[in-house]
Amino acid sequence: MTASVPAQPRHPALAGADPELAALVAAEEQLQADTLRLIPSENYVSAAVLEASGTVLQNKYSEGYPGKRYYEGQQVIDQIETLTAERARALFAMDHANVQPYSGSPANLAVYLAFLQPGDTVLGMSLPMGGHLTHGWGVSATGTWFNGVQYGVRRDTGRVDLDEVRDLALAERPKLIFCGGTAVPRTIDFAGFAEIAREVGAVLVADIAHIAGLVAGGAHPSPAPHVDVVSTTTHKTLRGPRGAMLLSRAEHARALDRAVFPGLQGGPHNQTTAAIGVALKQAATPEFRAYAHAVVANARALGEELAARGFDLVSGGTDNHLLLVDLTSKHIPGKPAAKALDRAGIVANYNAVPYDPRKPFDPSGIRLGTPALTSRGVPVSEMGRIAEWIDRVLTGDEDTIGKVRAEVKELMDAYPAPGLPVG
């Protein structure tokens, strides 16, 4: 089916220059408006963040840092980057902030470049257990160029065992330790990891890409008092554009800055820097704090409703925005489950669960999150209905899926998404 441009296009210049692409953008806007987005790493940015992302800052090339550029005409750009970095330092209570990384993976690569030599050992969470590719996993450059050692979670609890982490650290003597991941539904014990890092003389990095907004809003403990470096994306729970930041203690500022530029990147994406600045200002408000706590309340309620319907939750529930659901007892793998939910207008992703006997591209679980639905204002009282929809879709036929799709659309119409057209 070919998308069509609305009679009065929302993006008139784009529609005039490229109707085909304008139609696709409009179709994506409609898809985001009509569907219940439960992918934990997705969210809706505000209209202000969206607007900042599309400004004339796109026209600038700004290699270097404020006051030390390789191009002239940076008088305004320097102020924008300085302001954004100041907001980042204040919000996360860190000495230094670099707001130039293009995304989360390049930010983590910069950490390696700042502190390690090829072949050095890094300790991170295993990818199938909830970690990230860039924490030393084998198929990543970080596991190819460095000696990646992984910790996991306990079979009986689904939680990180710090005794195991300590034993691995003492045996392997890593120079770098990552805490955090992409499918971790429980509170990260930054203080516990810091104690282990001190024992072995390792640099401790908290990758809070998923929970940055919860940290900013006081809904998750802050890593700031405990770690050397904080790496984070700026989308997800922080509700900013697709970018990243590195924050650190003052002693690591120069090494990290040199690793980002000239080590890995050229000129920063200034329009993204400005949009990050907007998001950081919004994240410092009481309204955002209420949002962060509502994200967690919704996730806990959704988890309880799913558990009441016989779904198995890794670690038994959640402390944050994320639920990892093992569908083994439901006799449906994660991939067909995610596709069935998608047909019903419920957008999730299939995901490996700890000790998963199935292959990564056809795993046993799905991953759910509440940041996006909370941004729409969907209240905790609706989590029971959402759990019921998931149950109906995964146990029903195509007729059931169609009925749920209509009900999802009705709920989404009642809670319009920020930054998207209404109607």
Q: What is the pLDDT of residues 56-88, one digit of tens each?
A: 999 999 999 999 999 999 999 999 999 999 999
The pLDDT assigned to 422 comes to 60
Active site residue 291: no
Choose the catalytic residue: 29, 34, 42, 63: 63
Q: Which residues pair with 64 in a beta bridge?
A: 69
Checking if the pLDDT of 421 tops 80, the result is no
Tokens (6 digits) for 218: 């006081």
Checking if the pLDDT of 118 tops 70, the result is yes
Instruction: Tell me the per-residue pLDDT of 7-17, one tens digit each, with 9 for 90 and over.
Output: 567 899 999 99
Rg (CA), the chain: 22
* pTM, full prediction: 0.96
As a whole-number percent, the residues of the chain with pLDDT over 70 amount to 98
The CA-atom distances, in angstroms, between 288 and each of 213, 285, 293, 339, 340 are 8, 5, 9, 32, 33
Active site residue 242: yes
Choose the catalytic residue: 151, 182, 207, 335: 207
Active site residue 319: no
The pLDDT assigned to 8 comes to 63
Q: Let me know: does 369 contact 40? Beta carbons within 8 Å.
A: yes
Q: Let me know: does 231 contact 253? Beta carbons within 8 Å.
A: no
Report the SS3 class of residue 124.
strand
Active site residue 134: no
pLDDT confidence band for 5 (50 / 70 / 90): very low
